[in-house]
Amino acid sequence: MRLVATEYISLDGVFEEPGEWSGPFFNDEAGQFKWDELQASDAQLLGRKTYEGFAA
pLDDT, tens digit only, all 56 positions of the chain: 777 787 777 788 777 766 666 667 778 998 899 889 888 888 888 888 888 988 88
Task: Kindly write down the DSSP assignment for every residue of the chain, as one continuous string.
Answer: ----------TT-----TT-TT-TT--HHHHHHHHHHHHT-S-----HHHHHHHH-
pTM of the model: 0.55
Domain membership of residue 27 as a residue range: 1-56
